[in-house]
A and B are shown apart, each in its own frame.
Chain A
Amino acid sequence: MPFATQTLVIFYNKKIFRQHGVSVPKTWDAFLTLMKTLKDKGVTPLANGAKEGWTLEILSGVIAPNFYGGTNFYEAVTRGHTTFRDPTYTNALARMLDLRPYMPQGFMGVDYATMQQLFLNEQAAMFIGGSWEIGFFKQQNKNLDFDVFAAPPERADQIPWVSSFNDGNYGINAKTPYMDAAMKFIRFTATKEWGQMFTDMLAQMSPVPGVVIKDPVLLQVQAMNRKSTPYIMLVGFRWQAPTGSTLLQSALQAMMAGQMTPAQVGDEVTRGLSAWVDSFRR
């Protein structure tokens, strides 16, 4: 039984936006302009760092889908019609490089805790991350006035893609001596009562149908999910080792440090995955 779905979004500090007269961008270029404006006014635009590889994978999950064509690419790559060497994908990754000037000073050493601290202490205007942060941010700083928006697409007429994934599942060990109790519990996690409690208490999206979301930020996230796309490595490429995630995380660190080009990242990931993804070996 799945217990939550997560969506990858951009959090922003509404007060800082108001103070500096900027608003949610509708296109990628507007996004870059927005960050430059903030930086010129002495505000750190992004809280994100690169010390923990998985936060870079998340960053790619937010920024890249609009540029690689979301689910169309996902299906192509999982069906073996293309690999991660595809310029469609690597050019999308390249967009992450545009963010570097707007990340904190010394961002290569900024870890997840520091990222959250920066956003929570209002020392950075935006935080690119997952919807699971909503409850955490609210709990850590009740005065933080924040909201979310989807990573903006190239053109204003496009609807942005958001990466999403099933965050985890409850499972029963087939050999448990407590099968009845376990089944009873698992059945309960499929009920609306459970889903509603889950969403209300943790501000996370429950997969149970019919659950009503009350949190305004989470409502935004739910709306964005109308155009959701699988969070590519987590959903499609973690079946065996080396996983797509492991390969991508290290490679992205190299890319953000200027040691690798996006094309090399794509090559590295494809090469590693070809150990168990047959279609990548051609």
Chain B
Amino acid sequence: MRASRRLWLIVFLGPALVLFVVFVTYPILSALAYSLYAWEGIGRRGFAGLANFVRLFQTFPYPRLLAGAFWHNVVVFVLTMLIQNVVALGLALLLARGPRGARAYRVIFFLPVTLSLVIVGFMWALFLNPVFGVVNKSLAAIGLSGLARPWLGDPSTALVTLTLVNAWRWLGFPTLVFLAGINAVPDDYLEAARIDGAGETAVLRHIIFPLLAPAVTIIVTLTFIGSFNWFELPYVVQGVSGPPNRATDVLGLLFYRTAFGEVDTGLQDIGIGSAIAVLMFILMATVSTLGALYMRRREVELA
């Protein structure tokens, strides 16, 4: 029955394969290729070798824009790890104790994760408006009007504020992932430890945390990918230019406006845009692969 079996393989695999090759593989390979050509608008001109990369790394202001955007992605990643993921771990530990209403808390905490970043972004942009927004009005109402500032307009607070908005939206996700990880720790381990007289902290350090390693690796990898993929939130809240003075510029915004044009320029440069895309691809692919490999190695097998 070999021929008919082969036919069935084609029937089952074909549609997915065609779809994937045409709309994923081919565009990704093209993106890499585009960076090697000169462009005029969306018209491709001659082969340019690495000229686009050279321009990206040498012609002012691109090097500074690239470095700045990259640095901001790094800042977002670090801050998100320190704020969002640490808080998530804390909340997960609390929820794991089975307090009353734990189920309700889980549902509530996860709610923002289901909301579109567009909604979240617009909502917080309105709340953070320095003149009309509820955040500054609240500060004034409790007598802290000295703290009121243009959170999204001040170059020193804009990126952190955006990161906090992002954390507000995502917090429930690592919380529940960690919670599942903690709950997966077999009770016998914990019983054994307690019988041996181990205290809270010891149990945390020697049993729970090591067994949370897979969850942590996943969250770190996803946080990294998410941080470097930042686009919707800064686009909706700040606009494609990453204001003020590029303080909220990230690689995603830089890529988009180079490829499709900025406010008051409309001048796109697909060559440089593609070069930026190539760099981002390399970065993401490398880190994702390393993360996946690391995950494999560090998993503690529960016999």
Residue positions of A touching B, CB distance < 8 A: 49-54, 57, 104-111, 114, 117-118, 234, 238, 240-243, 245-247, 249-251, 253-254, 257, 259-260, 268, 271-272, 274-275
Contacts and interface: CB of A to CB of B under 8 A. Distances in A.
Given A241-B269, A247-B61, A50 B131 contact: no
B153 A51 contact: yes
A245 B150 CA distance: 24
Contact of B241 (A53, A238, A251): A53
Given A105-B131, A106-B131, A246 B243 contact: no
Q: Sorted from nearest, which 10 A-B pairs have the closest CB atoms?
A: A109-B150, A109-B153, A106-B130, A108-B153, A106-B150, A109-B130, A254-B245, A253-B245, A253-B244, A241-B267
A271 B245 contact: no
A248 B264 CA distance: 11
Contacts, number: 108
Nearest to B242: A250
Contact of B131 (A104, A238, A246): A104
Interface in B88-139: 128-132, 136
Given A118-B131, A254-B245, 15 more contacts: A49-B153, A50-B244, A53-B243, A104-B131, A105-B148, A106-B150, A107-B150, A108-B150, A109-B129, A242-B265, A245-B264, A250-B241, A254-B155, A257-B245, A274-B60
Contacts of B263: 53-54
Given A108-B150, A259-B155, A250 B246 contact: yes
A281 to B, nearest CB: 11
A251 B61 CA distance: 12
Interface residues of B, number: 29
A106 B265 contact: no
A257 B269 contact: no
- Output the residue of B59, B60, B128, B151 with the most chain A CB within 10 A: B60
A149 B265 CA distance: 29
Given A114-B131, A114-B132, A250-B245, A109 B264 contact: no
A105 to B, nearest CB: 7
Contacts of B239: 52
A249 B59 CA distance: 19
B52 to A, nearest CB: 13
Contacts of A104: 130-131
A109 B152 contact: yes
Contacts of A118: 131
B71 to A, nearest CB: 16
B244 A257 contact: yes
A109 B127 CA distance: 12
Interface in B259-303: 262-265, 267, 269
A243 B241 CA distance: 13
A231 B2 CA distance: 75
A242 B254 CA distance: 13
Contact of A109 (B60, B154, B269): B154
Given A106-B131, A108-B153, A238-B264, A272 B243 contact: no
Contacts of B243: 51-53, 250, 253
B148 A106 contact: yes
A174 to B, nearest CB: 14
Contacts of B153: 49-51, 106-110
